[in-house]
Structures are given as structure tokens and as C-alpha cells.
Amino acid sequence: MRNRMIAGNWKMNKTYSEGVVLAQGLARELEGGTGSVDVVVAPPAVDLKGVAEVIEQEQAPFALSAQNVYWEESGAFTGETAPGMLNAIGATYCIIGHSERRGYFGETDEDINRKAKALMAHDIVPISCCGEPLEVREAGEHVAFVVDQIKKDTEGLEIEDPSKYVIAYEPIWAIGTGKTATADDAQEVCGAIRKTLAEIFGQEKADGIRILYGGSAKPENVAGFLEKEDVDGALVGGASLKADSFAAMVKAAM
């Protein structure tokens, strides 16, 4: 069985002190625990340490994620963060391949594949994002497009524990636009992703990998997505920036 996951991607929002306040608020909202739901928050890099301290002090029931990583161990890579640096501050997850990184910063599937390997070598769980732009959806080629991303992003990966590799399907046209995909749209692609994972890693592994939906997910619509067979949770942008709305999504998943 796959535990559901609700992950909050703060993107480039919240200063250090604002991030601490948000994490404290979330710890209060979730002080009764999250049942079998895995909860993850992904603050900006400079906020990670502060949020790690809140998690430790409050014994908060959520895990820490970075939003990006570089695949080298150390060296002359100005502005980048190594996987070992994430280990050292207690980040146990890392988002990779977000459409904003692919679109604005030119990240390729090859980069994403290298990042996944580097993270897994450090026992950090990748939350690997995929998803089609509007023109691909309108041309009816979204399933083939995403399957191709999955094949490239997972090439040569060795997955021993399937709970330690997470995929987020985020149709680009639904991110931050208020335009959500329907639950059936999400299931169509998430089902195709699981089928592809089964071809690559075998059915048993594929059945253990969480596939999240992302794109204008909010308290009012998350339950509909979670009802779908191959949707195991949500990657949440805007609605993760307030403790009460994010906690409401966690509770909807419990």
C-alpha cells in the first residue's frame, strides 16, 4: 500500500523569518498528527535551516524538502547546492524537474535524471515533476509527452525502495492559473505513468511509487483527485503558503 503524500512547494516565497512562522503555524495545525499521510514542505534554500529547526523543536509531523539540487558533490559551481549539503541540514526530500525550472532555467530531462541519481545516492527522496504544456494537451498528445519525460527522467535509476521515489504530474497549464485539471484528466496521465513505471521497474515497484497531482490543487478540490486510483497525493503551490489551507489539505487526505 502506498501512503498518501501532501507536499507543499513554497517556490520563491517567504523570507527566513516568514518561513519559520509558517512552519510553526503548520506544526500547530497538525499537532494531532497526520495519520498515515506523509507531509512534506519545500521552502526556499535559505529558509531550509530555519524550518529544520522548527521541525526539531516542535517535533512537527512533516519532513523537509529542497526545491532543487546540483548533482556534483562539491566544487566550483557557483550558486548551486550539493546533495550532501541537504543531508547536513536534514532535508530528506528534494523537488526536481519542476516546470518552472525546466521553462525558466533550461533544465533538461538529462539534468533531472542526474539529479535523481545524485539524490538517491544520498538517500534523499526525489519528487520528480513532469507535465505537458497547453499546446501539447490541445493537440491530444499529453500522455505520450509525459510518458517520454518519465522514460528519460528515470533512465538507469535503480529503485530499491519504491517509497523513496516520488513523481508529481503537473500539467503546466494548470499551475498557478486557477485552472485545474479534472480528476479524470489527472487519472488518465497518472495511470499511464504507473503503467510506464511497471514496464521499466516491474509491477511491484510501480505499485509502491507515489504519483502526486499538482496544479491549482486546494482544500476544495483535493479530495476528488485523491479518489482516483493512481493519484496518491498532491504537490501544492499557492495553497501551501497558509498553514490553515495546507493543513486542511492534509486532513482531507487522512
> What residue ranges bind ligand PGA (CB under 6 A)?
9, 170, 175-176, 214-217, 235-239
Give 172 or 209: the residue with its C-beta nearer to ligand PGA.
Answer: 172
**Contact between 96 and 119 (Cβ < 8 Å):** yes
Q: Which sequence positions are flagged as catalytic?
A: 98, 170
Smallest separation (angstroms) from ligand PGA to the CB of 203: 28
Give 8 or 61: the residue with its C-beta nearer to ligand PGA.
Answer: 8
Position with the least CB separation from ligand PGA: 237
- Please give the DSSP secondary-structure letter assigned to residue 242: S
Give 154 or 180: the residue with its C-beta nearer to ligand PGA.
Answer: 180
CA dist 160 and 163 (Å) reads 9
Strand locations in the chain (E)? 5-9, 38-42, 63-66, 93-96, 125-130, 166-169, 210-214, 233-236
**Contact between 146 and 130 (Cβ < 8 Å):** yes
Smallest separation (angstroms) from ligand PGA to the CB of 32: 25
Smallest separation (angstroms) from ligand PGA to the CB of 88: 25
CA dist 15 and 83 (Å) reads 22
